[in-house]
Amino acid sequence: ANTLGLVAVKANGEVLDCMNTLKKDNTGYHLKHLFVGSEGTLGFVTEVAIQCPPKPQSVSLALLGVVDFEHALRTFRLARTMLCEILSSCELMDDNCVTPVVNTLGVRNPLAEYPFYVLIEVSGSNAAHDEEKLNAFLESAMGEGIVSDGTYTNEPSRMQNIWQLRERIAEALLRHGFVYKYDVSLPHDDFYQLIPVLQERLRGTEAQIVSGYGHLGDGNLHLNICSPEFSSELLAQIEPFVFKWISERGGSISAEHGIGFKKTKFLKFSKSDAAIRTMQQIKQLFDPQGILNPYKVLPPE
Amino acid sequence: ANTLGLVAVKANGEVLDCMNTLKKDNTGYHLKHLFVGSEGTLGFVTEVAIQCPPKPQSVSLALLGVVDFEHALRTFRLARTMLCEILSSCELMDDNCVTPVVNTLGVRNPLAEYPFYVLIEVSGSNAAHDEEKLNAFLESAMGEGIVSDGTYTNEPSRMQNIWQLRERIAEALLRHGFVYKYDVSLPHDDFYQLIPVLQERLRGTEAQIVSGYGHLGDGNLHLNICSPEFSSELLAQIEPFVFKWISERGGSISAEHGIGFKKTKFLKFSKSDAAIRTMQQIKQLFDPQGILNPYKVLPPE
């Protein structure tokens, strides 16, 4: 949505100039979007214009402890209503994620232990207004019993500490051996349900930690499964089960990271047969000899 | 940017299911964007999912008088900085647009006459905060002499009156006879420059009013030229001059309304030859017999 224009070189060497710095342009087909997310399989992007919002004057961060996922979702919904135009992040972390960050990396958790944590960031142009909105939100959230405990700060070093609890999860989990990582989108009501389903399914296998965290506001879950070392038996328990489960709920098997070459055979769980055939026709049109980033994104025909 | 997914029927009757209600989905090529803005030439859209933001709790509107376009642009830039997350509209109107609305339709202008008017709308979740931000903005804008006069309100009937000054321009200009209408995008520094250039160029012709208004925040200008009746000589003075002038400044010859069948020969002023060739190839792929909305968007090959 923030890519205004780009220039790409096609497989035949032709320079396809779709450069633009305008917010609105409704002339012809919007070709730039074909290149965004195509992982270099349709052309080599050499220039891009991106719309940048103004840097916010004020940023504050709250870390909240909640008793279950339902309360986490209610926290998000209340934040969307009460913080509205200043809500800039709403992240979820379960205790299976946060505990390794605390125990393995020594990051301090300013709250007591809770099954789930919600991180709320607000960004705005007036610090006093933002703080007042955040206070009103926290009062409601705690008053209604949605949130059990919480802390908030606009002090940079304390904000950094809280963000570490979220941003160092991948690093902490890797210390436990091999990590099977998935980056998926799900409708909000199903957002976390995949984790207990997998915990049940993988009981008795080598899986030691089955954890979920991610961008709750965007519906984007990071599923991480840790085992002492890679096991193809465990992998066979996870895939394609995970992708089928997501597909049945209208989710996406790759929210941010794309398809690459490992997921081409699973693309069908997120895209219809007709859409995949159309993608193959477009690939054929842009790169008839298949020389651009071969074996990526699309399954073999 | 707000279209999450859609279903389209292709020329061969095949249903292309690109439905999705997720904010993030990075699986394969983003086909939905090919249909948005393609004016029915690639497929018949039968379903669409659109992301809707929450309805704002509070809305206020200011009408400001400024002495020239440079001051209008400074007003926008100050608003973007000081009103930031609550700025929901920034519209520009010159006096050639507003005077007909007042004189012909009897809409009241709450300000004295100014060469330019800027309309600023703010929308947010806290009326007191929004009013405080709007007051601080107006104090700065008037204190620094950017704005000469202004009024603001959150009273629905008064807001409706102010919006009429903007929204009934097209209706008022039509009372003067024939209107040559253009809907273009331009970089901010060149946004209004086209109007005096055309006023000079069309001096001595049948053109009676050459006026400009539009979405300043989006860089989207509505150029309107009025003459007592349609004149092909006057049209020849306007086109393709207007499109060339816009093209030389990196603008778009159609910001919102698309290409239709009247502008296909001017598409080259907004899109590169390579881009137009690629669009023709995509049209050929989706609709080889050319049965979907023929003669629209693309020039004949």
Q: How far is CA A15 from CA A12, A37, A173, A210, A275, in A?
A: 9, 19, 44, 47, 26
Q: Mind telling me how many Å the CA of A104 is from chain B's nearest CA?
A: 31
Query: Taking CB atoms and an 8 Å limit, are B219 and A24 in contact across chains?
Result: yes
pTM: 0.94
Query: Taking CB atoms and an 8 Å limit, are A31 and B272 in contact across chains?
Result: no
Residue with tokens 């296998």: A205
Which residue from B minimizes the CA distance to A41?
B29
Reduce the DSSP state of residue B87 to 3 states and report it: strand
Distance CA A211, CA A214 (A): 10
Q: Is 90 exceeded by the pLDDT of residue A299?
A: yes
Reduce the DSSP state of residue A46 to 3 states and report it: strand
Q: Is 80 exceeded by the pLDDT of residue A1?
A: no
Edge-to-edge strand list for the sheet holding B220-227: B149-153, B58-66, B116-124, B87-94, B209-215, B220-227, B178-185
What is the reported pLDDT for B227? Answer: 97
Query: Taking CB atoms and an 8 Å limit, are B57 and A33 in contact across chains?
Result: no
- Chain A residue numbers with beta carbons less than 8 Å from the beta carbon of B23 are 185, 218-220
Q: Exposed, middle or buried: residue B79 (CB in 10 Å: 0-12, 13-18, 19+)?
A: buried
- Chain A residue numbers with beta carbons less than 8 Å from the beta carbon of B298 are 28
Please report the DSSP string for A98-147 in residue order.
HHHHHHHH----SS---SEEEEEEEEES-HHHHHHHHHHHHHHHHHTTS-
- Chain A residue numbers with beta carbons less than 8 Å from the beta carbon of B33 are 30, 33-34
Which residue from A minimizes the CA distance to B85?
A85
User: pLDDT band at residue A54, thresholds of 50, 70 and 90?
Assistant: confident
User: Is residue B114 within 8 Å of B149, Cβ to Cβ?
Assistant: yes
Distance CA B49, CA B47 (A): 7
Q: Is 90 exceeded by the pLDDT of residue A75?
A: yes
Average pLDDT over residues A268-277: 97
Please report the DSSP string for A201-265 in residue order.
HTTTSS--EEEEEEEGGGTEEEEEEEESS--HHHHHHHTTHHHHHHHHTT-BS-SSS--TTTSGG
Residue with tokens 């103004």: A54
Q: How far is CA B283 from CA A215, B259, B301, in A?
A: 38, 15, 11
- Chain B residue numbers with beta carbons less than 8 Å from the beta carbon of A282 are 29, 282, 285
Query: Cβ–Cβ contacts within 10 Å for residue A19, how many?
Result: 17
What is the reported pLDDT for B53? Answer: 87
What is the reported pLDDT for A301? Answer: 77
- Chain B residue numbers with beta carbons less than 8 Å from the beta carbon of A124 are 84-85
What is the reported pLDDT for B39? Answer: 97
Reduce the DSSP state of residue B70 to 3 states and report it: helix
Tokens encoding B265: 């020969």
What is the reported pLDDT for A283? Answer: 98
Q: Mind telling me how many Å the CA of A33 is from chain B's nearest CA?
A: 6
Q: List, in order, residues 6 or more apart from B226 with CB less than 8 Å away.
A: B173, B176, B177, B178, B179, B180, B207, B208, B209, B211
Could you list the mean pLDDT of each consecutive 10-residue stretch along chain B, which spans 301 residues? Answer: 94 96 96 97 98 93 98 97 96 98 97 98 97 98 97 97 98 95 97 98 97 97 97 97 98 97 96 98 97 96 77
Q: What ipTM was reported for this prediction?
A: 0.94
> Going from the N-terminus, what domains does chain B have, and what CATH number goes with each?
3-52+272-286 (3.30.465.10), 58-171 (3.30.70.2190), 176-269 (3.30.70.2740)
